[in-house]
């Protein structure tokens, strides 16, 4: 427990520093750590899937490392080839790698490489889309709004898990998904939802009183969105558990003592961050707001 708490505090400090840099306007600073996180996560996926093809693993890690910067700096605008053509060429390249090493490479390795190198960093990169709302819609969103929204996505990914752990270990009696994650309980899940929503709402009131200058966000929007995101965060965590169970693994890695690998910590965030972005875009479309 001590090691778990120390590791969690260190990770939280790093995340807070990145949010501070974002709030101060250093807009490109997060693409580097995001690229590193994506590359490590890609390696963990390929390792867990028992991929023996080092070239396939290396390519997926390299692409995963590039995607966040590709999105963050809008590199596509400088490339004359459509993104769809680039993705098709990438898929064909992975299939060629499989054919060259067909004796040791399975199609599921290619599928996992695509997931690791595109889906994971693509989900993380939606953070940049939320961050840039203050640039695209300056009349509705301040930079402080963007930082708050990113923080809410993080709360709903990690705070729900923390609350669920402590409540479940104390009061948990009914198993939530015993065949997927035996230690999770219904009571823990409810505690995770309640604790997360409260944290998001309290943070909103603090920000609204200190740094929000308009009423784009209100407490009911925050309450509803945080509840949905907290549920989706739990679903993301369970989905990652299914992947690990399918390959007979307990954790994706061990880079974080007491917590597992990068993907063990980021699994819920891979759902909450893009889900938040989708909800924002839907809300803007319903309101008839265009960038």
Mean pLDDT, consecutive 10-residue stretches, the chain (291 aa), reads 51 62 63 90 93 94 95 90 95 94 89 95 93 90 91 88 77 75 81 91 93 89 94 90 87 72 87 96 88 63
Q: Do residues 98 and 109 make contact, with C-beta atoms less than 8 angstroms apart? A: yes
pLDDT of residue 58: 96
DSSP state of 75: G
Q: Do residues 255 and 261 make contact, with C-beta atoms less than 8 angstroms apart? A: yes
Of 195, 269, 226, the closest CA to residue 217 belongs to 226
Residue with tokens 């965030």: 269
Beta partners for residue 177, in sequence order: 181
Angle at 273 between CA 241 and CA 202, to 5 degrees: 105
pLDDT of residue 13: 59
Q: Do residues 58 and 46 make contact, with C-beta atoms less than 8 angstroms apart? A: no
pTM, to two decimals: 0.87
Residue with tokens 């909103």: 204
Cα–Cα distance for residue pair 105/5, rounded to 1 Å: 39
Cα–Cα distance for residue pair 194/164, rounded to 1 Å: 9
Rg of the chain over CA atoms, in angstroms?
A: 20
User: Is residue 256 helix, strand or coil?
Assistant: strand
pLDDT of residue 45: 94
User: Is residue 134 helix, strand or coil?
Assistant: helix
pLDDT of residue 101: 86
pLDDT of residue 171: 77
pLDDT of residue 245: 86
User: Is residue 258 helix, strand or coil?
Assistant: coil
pLDDT of residue 26: 58
């Amino acid at each position: 427990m001590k090691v778990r708490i120390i590791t969690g505090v260190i990770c939280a400090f790093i995340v807070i520093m990145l949010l501070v840099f974002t709030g101060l306007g250093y807009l490109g600073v997060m693409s580097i750590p995001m690229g590193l996180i994506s590359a490590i996560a890609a390696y963990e996926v390929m390792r867990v899937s028992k991929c023996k093809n080092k070239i396939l693993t290396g390519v997926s890690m390299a692409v995963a490392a590039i995607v966040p910067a590709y999105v963050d700096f809008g590199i596509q605008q400088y490339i004359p080839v459509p993104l769809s053509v680039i993705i098709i060429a990438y898929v064909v390249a992975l299939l060629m790698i499989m054919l060259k090493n067909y004796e040791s490479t399975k199609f599921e390795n290619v599928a996992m490489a695509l997931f690791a190198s595109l889906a994971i960093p693509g989900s993380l990169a939606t953070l940049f889309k939320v961050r840039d709302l203050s640039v695209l819609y300056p009349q509705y969103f301040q930079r402080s709004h963007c930082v708050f929204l990113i923080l809410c996505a993080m709360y709903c990914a990690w705070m729900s898990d923390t609350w669920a752990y402590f409540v479940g270990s104390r009061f948990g009696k009914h198993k939530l998904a015993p065949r997927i994650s035996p230690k999770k309980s219904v009571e823990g899940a409810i505690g995770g939802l309640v604790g997360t929503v409260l944290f998001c709402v309290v943070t909103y009131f603090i920000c609204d009183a200190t740094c929000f200058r308009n009423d784009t966000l209100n407490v009911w929007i925050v309450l509803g969105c945080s509840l949905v995101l907290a549920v989706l965060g739990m679903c993301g965590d369970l989905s990652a558990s299914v992947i690990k169970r399918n390959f007979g693994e307990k954790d994706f890695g061990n880079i974080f003592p007491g917590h597992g690998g990068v993907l063990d910590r980021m699994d819920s965030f891979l759902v909450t961050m893009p889900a938040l972005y989708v909800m924002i875009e839907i809300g803007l479309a319903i309101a008839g707001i265009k960038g």
